[in-house]
Amino acid sequence: MITLNPGTVGLAELRAVWGGAPAELHPDAWPAIDASAASIARILASGRTVYGVNTGFGLLANTRIPEDRLAELQTNLILSHSCGLGAPLDPRIVRLAMILKAIGLGRGFSGVRRIVVERLLALVEADALPIIPGQGSVGASGDLAPLAHLSAALLGEGEIVLHGETLSAGEALARLGLAPLALGPKEGLALINGTQVSTAIALDVLFTAERIFAAALVAGALSTDALKGSIAPFDPRLHAARGQQGQIDVAAALRGLLEGSAIGASHLDCAKVQDPYSFRCQPQVMGAALDLIRNAARTLTTEANAVSDNPLIFAEKDEAISGGNFHAEPVAFAADTLAMALCEMGSLSERRTAVLIDPKMSGLPPFLIEDSGVNSGFMILQVSAAALVSENKSLAFPASADSIPTSAGQEDHVSMATHGALKARRIARNAAGVVAIELLAAAQGIDFHAPLQTSAPLARAHQAIRAAVPFHEKDRFLAPDLAWAQGAVLDGAVTDAVQTDLFGG
């Protein structure tokens, strides 16, 4: 059980929760939640007008709502905003979004009762996940539509997937012995204001990018050995002279992966001066990508702990302050930078595959197969990689550079964070396919150097590949091999055999 202390939840805990670990809030969170709810009650009793508590929303913020309609106001907010479209979000993302919402509410600045947070966590624990359409958020005023679908399930509206079975939310709650939640003042607004959906998607991209990055390092090292490439460009003195930390770390990782290779030792005195940039400049390109991934991790860890609804309640003085913490620009920037890093990882990987299949560049059999001509070998695998790389280029325009006014101009600048994160997720899966193709090509290239052996860590990666994909002796139906390799990149099956941890907690 992961115990989450709102405000100090770390990346390692978020990664564990993303991986399916059960979670609970730290006991210290509950007094702050209670104090915030009590403050809302005192504010209402005082007769003050507070946005979203006893007023309308957006352009209707100046409309005062009578006390006997406050519960109706919050319920109507959820129902009216449940208007998403598109394919449902992945259950892993929905679960993470629910936990992030519990973390945000658990900071004690949102004015909700503890039952709201308890109910969110109860659904997570019961594996009862609301169906949330992926489209409909512009990433300002919070992820309104997707969070409304999440929240509607608490009220018995919409649909819930319970242990894999899709049910009406009301039926799912009944099976769990839970009554639909009756919202109190501000609770609907606190639930749908926030960046938790876009942050959950971006964290999913981040954790996937970590795995793709690790696989790309292994693939790049395998390709370097298959090419009989030089390790001189990975000399630590070169990278210390530049001083970029990601570059320094990647060069060190590549040296560790290649150390002890008999293939590498066999050509130490060869006449070749330089390798193509896609081999020689791996530390520079992958290091820059690593820096972007690390920076996105810092941003998203902060946002996972953030209070991003509106207004915020400061219980010690019974103050309600309206601001704009719901604007998801930090998440949008993080998603866009992850997209750029993933595009470059894929671009570099495809170029290495192209070199390996070219006998003039690699010295290996054409298209990495004997009896070429009758056999096409890896010819069209490289074409598939090129197609994925080009698709990623078309997806790489930063979503955060776009904005469109909403809510009659009241919300006149938006972040597009949810769109950016979903787009980055698509880029990630394409990049995983590109790296998967390189892994297969590099393993084939290594085999052509037998009886010479690669390094011990790369041999473990090679063995993991060969346990599922046999040597490409003659043409065969390749789609299953490629599907396995892409899955192995995404779930870490290959890189788990090679301990290269550049991300830590």
What is the helix (H) or strand (E) element at residue 130, kind and residue range?
A: strand 128-130
d(CA 43, CA 21): 38
d(CA 321, CA 194): 15
d(CA 128, CA 120): 10
Nearest to 7 by CA among 307, 298, 325: 307
Write down the residue that tokens 């081999």 correspond to: 279
**179, 67 Cβ separation under 8 angstroms:** no
d(CA 23, CA 139): 26
Q: In angstroms, how far is the first alpha carbon of the chain from the final one?
A: 17
The one-letter amino acid code at 133 reads P
CA atoms within 13 A on the CB side of 343: 17
d(CA 49, CA 301): 34
| Secondary structure (3-state) at 445 | helix
The one-letter amino acid code at 303 reads E
| Secondary structure (3-state) at 319 | strand
277 is catalytic: no
Write down the residue that tokens 């959820």 correspond to: 78
Q: In three state form, how does the secondary structure of 354-381 look?
A: HHHHCHHHHCCCHHHCCCECCECCCHHH
d(CA 89, CA 150): 11
Catalytic residue among 51, 109, 326, 378: 51
Rg (C-alpha) for the chain, rounded Å, is 26
* Tokens, residue 469: 């994909």
Active-site residues, by number, are: 51
